[in-house]
Structure 1
Amino acid sequence: MNHKAWSIHFIYAGVILLLAGGQMYAVESYQLTPSATKFLAHNVGPGPETAQGAINHFMVNSNTGVRETITPPGWVAWAALSAGAVLSVHGGMLIANKR
């Protein structure tokens, strides 16, 4: 694969990270749907054999419409924005150096 193709990948990854970082910076928290909350309860976190896991599984499976709220820390948005800017500039410089 030549350098121009790699540079396009760097630019695309940088733009995606810039958009994701801007989204996280603009929004304070994310509230998941009940189906996403059920997926997280069954696949991530403590298992049903622990006390906390048993409570989580009971709450999610009782059809009460429980929704998980995710609040990312503020540094995640800045990290995504910074990485996106660096990747985009790097991809642009790869294109400029090959001309």
Structure 2
Amino acid sequence: MKQKAWAIHFIYAGIILLLAGGQMYAVESYQLTPSATKFLAHNVGPGPETTRGALNHLVVNSGAQVRETITLPNWIAWASLSAGAILAVHGGLLVAHKK
């Protein structure tokens, strides 16, 4: 019974990775909201003690509606699609093997 539960988890993880990979492949870039851009400027990346970090904090805190654009490389989408397919097939084979 435990083996079948693990197989279902593999299938679900594979489906989620397939959907995420399809989404990443279909979309060219993602544009973040101003609040998400502000969050990233304050919590991720260089700190305000560096030149680039100080410039980022200045621009984000100036009150302008700054939006960060994220462009992902194509290999991330293909890697997610491949891993999703492998996990889904592996889970399907585990379910078929237990019957």
What TM-score range do you get, normalising by the shorter chain? over 0.9
Note the C-alpha offset of 1:62: 1.0
Distance 1:33 1:63 in 2: 14
Q: Which residue of 1 aligns with 2:90?
A: 90
The SS at the match of 2:49 is coil
Letter in 1 for 2:70: I
1:9-45 Cα offsets, whole Å, 9 max, x none, are: 1011100000000000000000000000011101110
Runs of 4+ aligned structure 1 residues displaced above 2 Å come to none
Q: Which residue of 2 aligns with 1:49?
A: 49
1:60-91 Cα offsets, whole Å, 9 max, x none, are: 11121000000000000000000000000000
State TM-score, norm by structure 2. Answer: 0.98
Note the C-alpha offset of 1:53: 0.1
Q: Which residue of 1 aligns with 2:13?
A: 13
Distance 2:48 2:8 in 1: 45
Letter in 1 for 2:25: Y
Point out where structure 1 has 5 or more consecutive residues left out of the alignment: none
Q: Which residue of 1 aligns with 2:70?
A: 70
The SS at the match of 1:92 is helix
Is 1:59–2:54 an aligned residue pair?
no
Distance 1:83 1:20 in 2: 11
Q: Which residue of 1 aligns with 2:29?
A: 29
Point out where structure 2 has 5 or more consecutive residues left out of the alignment: none
The SS at the match of 1:88 is helix
Q: Percent identity?
A: 78
